[in-house]
Every structure is written in structure tokens, then in C-alpha cells.
Structure 1
Amino acid sequence: MIGVVTLSPAIDVTYQVQKLVLGESHRVQKTYKFAGGKALNVARVLKSGGHHTALILPTGGQAGSWLRSELEKLGVSYQAIETIAETRTCVSVVDIGATVFNEPAPSVLESEFEAFLAIIQGARDTSVGVLSGSLPADLTSQQITRLLSVIRDSFPIAVIDTSGTALIEAAKLGFDLLKPNREELLAATGSESVEIAAGFLMSLGAKRVLVSLGELGAKLFTSKKLLSVQVTKVQGNPTGAGDAMVATASWSLDKGLTDSQLLKNAAAAGSLAVLEPVAGQINWEKLADLANTLEVEEVE
């Protein structure tokens, strides 16, 4: 089972419009409303492929109640702590591209944070733990380190997809996979080079660094080699493409697949996610076929 941990679940609302023009009124063609946020997208992708997953998350207010009811309808297993802060809402406006408005992760009280850690420590029969999504801005450095340490100690395989100092701390703790995009990687390390930035995280102790590069593909850094893959550009909604990559990469680790196959699966999943109208979905029937068409270049 893959456990997905988050402090920033969300209600995802997507509006499809013919053409987005700033400052103008728009007639919405279609509206989608889902239990979302990065971690929930990861869980939904895994669930859609028939893979066992469990969420650990905070929920608060009426939005949190609605989110829990949606998870129950989806059949996604979860454990939630109740928070005073309302669960956030994120809005995507899609024409030929996507314009996204993400509310920040809400604050958690100290007592809520401790209850959250206790749930993680009590996780059973979970082979992979994934921390996905942004962290509350007022979370202290000590709390971030404690959170990551608990995840590292509670799961045989630890994966992280977030930004900022959490990436640095996860590397120091020897996480099995860090999955930043290019901008997150460079911002966290203060570097102007993907190779130098990823190398820095590896030198701190990270086992693998998977860097998503959008339509340019992805790179996977390991202790012995650099793997690179290119993808064919596709049109659609890129929201959630990175989450699909995290889901399939985590699944690949759980299955003990090679680094090359992990990279192919992640890159293929990212492309397939763009073709879906909303985040948190891929066509698993097409995953293997698309992954097998990709060529991985190895740099010693």
C-alpha cells in the first residue's frame, strides 16, 4: 500500500471557457468540482489504476466535510484530523491552457500537528510514504524536520513532492525520491543549473531526484548516473501532470522497477495527465504502451 501524506488538501474547481481574457466577464462552458490538491491527485491516480492507497490529511469546516464525503464516494481510504482552519479551495480556468489560482495551505495548531504526526506513526502495512503538496507558511523549521523524520522512520520507502526548505531537509534525511519541478529545484537550492542543484541534493543524502521539465521531459538523478527522457508535446490541461508523475514513480518504487522504467512511467504519466480535462486522472491502459515508446538516455 502507498500512503499519501499532506497538510494541504483542497477543493479543486475547474472552469472551462472558450477564451480567457483578463478583465472580462466569461461564460463558463463546463464546471468540475473535485476533492483535490496535489496529494489527493496522487491518490486518485493510484486508485484509478487499481492500486491500494491511503491518505493522511487535515480537514476543516464545511469544505472539509464536503471533501471527506467525496473521498468516501471515491472509495479512497483516509485518516483525517479535524482542524479549526477551513480546507482551502483552488481554481483552474482552462481554455487552450490553464490559469490556476491556489489558496495557501491553512495553518494547523500545535495540537493538530501532533495528532497528525501520531496518525503517520500509526500507519500499518504501508510500503511507500509520499509527502505531497505545499506546507503551511507558519510551520516552523523544527516542525518541518519532525514531520519529515516521522515519515522517513514510518515508511520503508519515502517520497517527497513539495518545495522550499523541505526539499533540503528531505535530502539530508535520505529520502528515496525527491520530485521537484525545475523551478522548485532551482529555488530551493539557489542554483541556476538543474544538474548542479540536483547534484547538491544528492550530496546531502537524497537517493534519487526526479526533475520534471514540462514539455521537455524529465531527468532522474541517482548516485551512479543521470537518466534523461524526452516526451512529445501534447495540448491540454497541465494541472496535475506532476502529481501523476509522483503517483507512477511511487508505484514503480513499490514494485521494485528499475530507475529507467521509473523514469519512463513517470514521463508517460505526465503526458497522459495533460490529456485529461481535470487533474488526478490518467489512462492506465495506455501507460505501458506510451512508456515503452520513450527512449532513456544515460549519462554516466
Structure 2
Amino acid sequence: MILTITLNPSVDINYKLDSLHLNEVNRCYRVIKTAGGKGLNVTRVIQLAGENVCATGFLGGTTGEFIENVLNENNINHQFIKIQGETRHCIAILHNGKQTEILEAGPCITEEEASTFIENYKNIINNVDVVVASGSLPIGLDSSFYQKLINIANEKGKKFILDTSGEALGEGLKANPYLIKPNKDELSKLLNIEKITTIQDVKEAINYLKEQFDIEYIIVSLGEKGAVGFHGGKFYIATPPKVRAVNPVGSGDSMVAGFAIAIARNLDPIETLKYGCAFGTLNAIEEKTGYIQPKLINSFITETEVSVLT
């Protein structure tokens, strides 16, 4: 089974407007509300692919109840810790071919709530093979919180996938997660490099990371162009099939879901990269965020090309 961790989930509200008029009333007739947060996007895609998954994290207030109800309606197994604070909203306004986002910071997690999560996590993890932690840390949690979770997973022989950024990623790397998947911007900020543009730049950045940390898979996503991966002393490049993207938001989370499934199934590096890139592309052709059509999985995996980079 795969365990997903969403420490700062949200109710994602998507407003679609023909145009946005500032300082005026804007009426919207196309609204989508989903149980959001990067980890819940990963959860949904894993469940759609038919793999056993359990979601955990923090939920609070009526917003948290909405997410819990959505998970129940979709028969998604979950073991969230209830908190006093209110789970956040994240608003995306699509207008004039652009996307404007308003993201709430979210609740503050108390020391007691954090301790309860850790104890619950230690129990849940005994029954899983792969752990996926995605997204930002909520207020109240130390930047080393992911590092603590990775250490616990490593002690129990579980494979930990970390998909975050900034200080949380930097601290998490110290515990040597099994797989990381930064994009080029996240990688450049992590290593304090002005810009990473070429494949050679990506390889040099990966080389630096593998010299500093013992990470089994280092995969750098390249958006619609696929990904560059490193595993077992070899570099790989994965190229997904060309598609007409409808909504690329959540494609990175879907990519992580594909990696998690491949690792849970003990697939080789080439197949693992195929799964990740295929799943990311499957999300891009859908209007919904963190969604794929299961019937298309096999064909997209087949059409994804992976080769060794020299």
C-alpha cells in the first residue's frame, strides 16, 4: 500500500471567468470545488489507477469536514489528525487566458497536534511499502518535520518520496529520501544557482546532489518535455507523448503518483520514469486537477520514451 501525506490540505475553488474586472462585481457560473493540496492530488490519481492508498495529514473545521466527506464519497481510505484550526481554501481564478491564485496560509499546528500525528504515522507506516509527502509545511511545524518523517520511514525500511521545495526540501534531503522530484526552478533555488536551462545544467545539478546525499532516485521534471532522472549511476531522459494540454495544474502531482505506483510494484528505472511521465501527461489533458482516465494509462505508458543519457 502507498501512504500519502498532506500536511497543509485545502479546499481548492476554481472560478472560470471570461474576463476579470478589478474593483467591480464579477459573477461566476462555472465553479469547481475539490479536496486539494498536492498530496491529495497524488492520492486521487493513485486511487484512480487502482492501487491501494491511504491518505493522512491534518484536517480541521468545516473545510476539513468537506474534504473528509469528499474522500468518503470517493471511497478513499484516510487517517487524518483532527486539529483545532480551520483547513484552508485556495482560490484559482481563470480569466483572459491567465490564472490568478489566492492561497490562504492555513492553520497553525500545535505541538500536541504534531506529536499526535507522529505517533499515528509510526503505526500507519507499518502497513505500507511507499510513503509520499507532498506540498508545503503548515505554520507551526519546524522546517525539519519532513526530515523526521523520512528518518522514521528509513528505520522501518520504507521507501519515501519527497515532493516539496525551499527550506523543507533542503532539510528533508539530509535524511536521504528514496526519491525527489524538483522542477528546474525548485532545483536552482535549492542549490542557489541563478538559472538551470539546459540538460547539461540539470545533469550537473544532479551530480552535485548525489555527491552530497544518498538518494536512490533524483528526477528533475521538465514540464511538457518530460524529465531527466538519475538512478544506479545512470542518467535517463523521459519524453512523454505530445498532447494538447487542457489543464497542466496538478501534472507534477500526477507524475509523483506514477512514480509511487511504479516503485510499489518494484519496476525498473526505465518503467518507473515511463509511469511518472505518462501519469503527468494524462493529467494535463483533463480539465480537473489531479485526475486521469484509467483506460488511457497503458497506451500513454507505451508511448512514453525513455533512453539513457550519455
Output the TM-score relative to the length of structure 1: 0.92
Q: 1:277 pairs with 277, 287, 309, which one?
A: 287
Residues 154/62 of structure 1: CA separation in 2 closer, same or farther (3 Å cut): farther
Q: Percent of aligned pairs with the same residue?
A: 31
2:277 match: secondary structure: helix
C-alpha deviations, 1:61-86, integer Å up to 9, x for none?
11112211211111111111111221
Q: 1:260 pairs with 267, 270, 273, which one?
A: 270
C-alpha deviations, 1:139-173, integer Å up to 9, x for none?
32454432332243345211111112332333332
2:205 match: secondary structure: helix
> 2: distance between equivalents of 1:23 and 1:214?
35
The CA deviation at 1:241 is 0.5
Residues 143/49 of structure 1: CA separation in 2 closer, same or farther (3 Å cut): closer
C-alpha deviations, 1:110-141, integer Å up to 9, x for none?
11101111111001321101111111254324
Matching residue's letter, 2:224:
E
Matching residue's letter, 1:114:
S
Q: Does 1:109 find its partner at 2:118?
A: no
Aligned to 2:206: 198
Contact 1:117 1:150 in 2 (8 A): no
The CA deviation at 1:107 is 2.2
Contact 1:272 1:283 in 2 (8 A): yes
Contact 1:14 1:278 in 2 (8 A): no
The CA deviation at 1:46 is 0.9
C-alpha deviations, 1:3-59, integer Å up to 9, x for none?
001211111111223345666654434211111111111111111122110011101
1:276 match: secondary structure: coil
2:290 match: secondary structure: coil
Matching residue's letter, 2:245:
Q
Q: 1:169 pairs with 168, 171, 177, which one?
A: 171
1:251 match: secondary structure: helix
Stretch deviating more after TM superposition (166-175 or 2-11): 166-175
> 2: distance between equivalents of 1:209 and 1:22?
43
The runs of 5 or more residues in structure 1 that have no matched partner are none
> 2: distance between equivalents of 1:19 and 1:273?
25
Q: 1:184 pairs with 183, 186, 204, which one?
A: 186
Count of aligned pairs:
300
Output the TM-score relative to the length of structure 2: 0.89
Aligned to 1:208: 217
C-alpha deviations, 1:245-279, integer Å up to 9, x for none?
01011000111111111112211211111111121
> 2: distance between equivalents of 1:121 and 1:67?
23
Contact 1:98 1:237 in 2 (8 A): no
> 1: distance between equivalents of 2:47 and 2:157?
20
Contact 1:105 1:134 in 2 (8 A): no
> 2: distance between equivalents of 1:219 and 1:25?
45
Contact 1:97 1:236 in 2 (8 A): no
1:238 match: secondary structure: coil
> 2: distance between equivalents of 1:142 and 1:207?
20
CA RMSD of aligned residues (A): 2.1
Residues 146/214 of structure 1: CA separation in 2 closer, same or farther (3 Å cut): same
Aligned to 2:234: 225
2:116 match: secondary structure: helix
Aligned to 1:146: 148
> 2: distance between equivalents of 1:133 and 1:159?
12
1:122 match: secondary structure: helix
Matching residue's letter, 2:92:
S
Q: 1:125 pairs with 120, 123, 127, which one?
A: 127
